[in-house]
Structure 1
Amino acid sequence: MSLPIPSGYALQEVWHPQFCSVSDFSTLDRIQECLKKKKIYLMGDSTLRQWIYYLTEKVETLKLFDRHSAGPFKSHVALDLERSTFIQWKRHGNPFVSRKLFSVKDGNYITNEIDRLAGDKDTVIAITLGQHFRPFPMDLFVRRLLNIRRAIHRLLLRSPETRVIIRTENTREMDTDMERLGDVNGYPQNLAVMDIFQGLNVGFIDAWDMNIAYGIYDVHPPDHVIWNQIIMFLTYIC
């Protein structure tokens, strides 16, 4: 189905989507039960890395594993050994624009990462990209999306029970370099994401509309927005 515009509304820091009813994850037990035996692969930029940080703070049994790498853009792994939960965040491939140093050896293209996964009913993939593509021509972003779509199609052919979630990019600060990084470039990218992944058996989390509804123009939104994104994610996979 196509996403309605707008895709929902925010009331008292709670997101209410128009197209589905979210599940109740107000207790730690419900979250742990949902994550039990799951292998979750978060692929994208630092806005998706916020999920693994938030989950390790929210779920006390979920611990970050020290990969002995340096910098914020290293691969992150969180484990709950008692419940066999595995969560990994890995940055997407170039272009990746940052003022902080990162190792090029630790990154890979999302297409390659998806092709390496066998997939099963307990495997979940969440994908976000767009912020680092804003300074570059639109055709580069579209080609990347098409390659990812083909990789998801191959994954669902060999393992149709695998869950794939597409999370759109966030709105950005108003005082940023608007010509290169502003939302005037991000909005057509957002439309391209929703158009290109139509027809695939994937779930959508409309982070763009969520940021607008909350009145937040921050590429890294606060915790209550991140939590509502995660509630949507948990609703899809459980």
Structure 2
Amino acid sequence: MNRTSTDETPCAPCHPNNTHLRLLTNYTQLCNLTSFNTGMPFYCGKPTNKLLSCKNLQRVKMEKCEVLPITDSEKVLFKRGQVTFNQTLKVTVENRREDIKYFSVTDRPSIPCSQYNISRTWHFRRPTGFFYGGKWNLQTCLGVQKQHYMSCLKNRRLYLFGDSTVRQWYEAVIKRFKCKLTSDGFEKCPKCQGESTCVNRDINFKANWYFHAHPIFMGRAWGTTRHWHSISFRIDNLPRNERAIVLIHVYAHVINFHHNVFRQKMEIIRKSVENYLLDSKYSIVLIKAPHAFEGPAGECRLHDYYGDVYSKILFEVFDGLHDKVILLNNRDATLAQHEKLVHPKGNIVNAMIDQMMNFVCY
């Protein structure tokens, strides 16, 4: 698009090379837009309008996706969704103390999360917690009390990199930590924004949310090049002298594509994380792992099947950084409440944020 002309051309934001685009279209001339995507390979067909060039790209949408081949049996399983086995269990709970005012569902962990061996967050083989009375009880380590959250965030920065589920975190941060938006764009239309900032000047706290760049499946929605900055690019450009909390999440908008696309994206991010941690002594990096959900499913999205696949890829890609990067388990909380939607309910989002705060506060 320019001032006088417009043109639409098919793009392949989901593949690291141009071979796939050439196979699916009759285009012989392509635009290499990797620089637009700040490092992640991205190709489009070259505009047929002679008045336009590759540099005139303004907006992108991707309505079609590859059909994922599955068997008839697999179709039945995906259509059935989650199944709860109806079994009644009688459990007798006895108080261990004579003080009737004291009540505990289970023994609390003894090791504070700030002293926990974070490499173990990558190796859990049992549930990391449970819901009781609507509250998530973390069982891996002893977290901080919620009344200490504000003092924990004093003079700190929070960077949230990801998709709309991370935007849910950002919206909860705004409410819980009295973080005031710096512009009214996000409040008017959160889904229309690719980034946003809020501040709590009383404690000198600032939070930023950024939508991750291509590869990303957005359906019929147009995305502008204004927010085309990859997570790796943004991490490379973060200040090194801050007490920052950096959270990374890539999942729901990438599961339409081959899992090697996710692997490549995370390999690029890993290099940036490693360099960032070498120079940032007072910052913490966390990865929000895939969560469970039941739908929607179809020809190009198979529920949360890729959650396990992506978890394995994360484990392999970040091997060597397991003792420096915290993996946040988000699957257990969504499984515990049989979450069906890709966007978890509010109490689950808050439980996930509490888990993050337990690891970053000390």
TM-score, normalised to structure 1, is: 0.89
Per the alignment, residue 156 of structure 1 pairs with: 277
SS of aligned partner of 1:180: coil
**2:38 — aligned with what?**
none
1:142 partner amino acid: R
TM-score (norm 2): 0.60
Secondary structure at 1:96 match in 2: coil
Alpha-carbon shift at residue 159 of structure 1 (Å)? 1.7
8 Å contact kept, 1:6–1:209: no
Contact 1:44 1:128 in 2 (8 A): yes
Q: Residues 179 and 124 (structure 1 numbering): CA distance in 2 closer, same or farther, change over 3 Å?
A: same
Q: Secondary structure at the match of 1:131?
A: coil
> 1-side partners of 2:295 and 2:185: how far apart?
36
How far 1:57 sits from its partner (Å)?
1.7
Q: Which has the higher Rg, Structure 1 or Structure 2?
A: 2
Name the structure 2 match of 1:5.
125
Residue 49 of structure 1 corresponds to: 167
Q: Which residue of 2 aligns with 1:235?
A: 358
Amino acid at match of 1:53: E
Identity of aligned residues (%): 22
Specify whether residues 197 and 15 from structure 1 end up closer, same or farther in structure 2 by C-alpha distance, changes over 3 A only. farther
User: How far apart, in 2, do the equivalents of 1:234 and 1:182 lie?
Assistant: 29
Give the Cα–Cα distance (whole angstroms) in 1 for the partners of residues 136 and 123 of structure 2.
Answer: 15
The structure 1 residue matched to 2:243, chosen from 111, 118, 122, is 122
Note closer, same or farther for the CA distance 1:140–1:175 as it changes in structure 2 (3 Å cut).
closer
Query: 1:122-143: CA deviations, max 9, x gaps?
Result: 1110000011111111111111
Structure 2 partner of 1:65: 182
1:63-82: CA deviation from partner (whole Å, max 9, x where unpaired): 12216576613211111112
* Structure 1 unmatched ranges of 5 or more: none
Which one has the bigger helix percentage? 1
Does 1:88 pair with 2:208?
Answer: yes
**CA RMSD, aligned part only?**
2.0
* 1:177-192 alignment, distance < 5 Å: 177=298, 179-192=300-313
Q: 2: distance between equivalents of 1:199 and 1:228? A: 28
Cα distance between partner residues in 1 of 2:345 and 2:241: 33
* Counterparts in 2 of 1:175 and 1:41: CA distance versus 1, 3 Å: closer
Runs of 4+ in 1 over 3 A off after TM superposition: 67-71, 99-102
Structure 2 Cα separation of the partners of residues 194 and 16 of structure 1: 25
Deviation of 1:62 (Å)? 1.4
Please tell me the residue identity of whatever aligns with 2:182. Answer: F
Q: 1:22 to 1:195 in 2, by over 3 A?
A: farther
Which of 286, 290, 293 is the aligned partner of 1:165? Answer: 286
Gaps in structure 2 of 5+ consecutive residues = 1-118
Q: Distance in 2 between matches of 1:108 and 1:182?
A: 28
Is the 1:41–1:88 Cα contact (8 Å) retained in structure 2?
A: yes
Number of residues of Structure 1 aligned to a counterpart in Structure 2: 234
Structure 2 contact 293–334 (Cα < 8 Å) conserved: no
Deviation at 1:144, TM superposition (A): 0.9
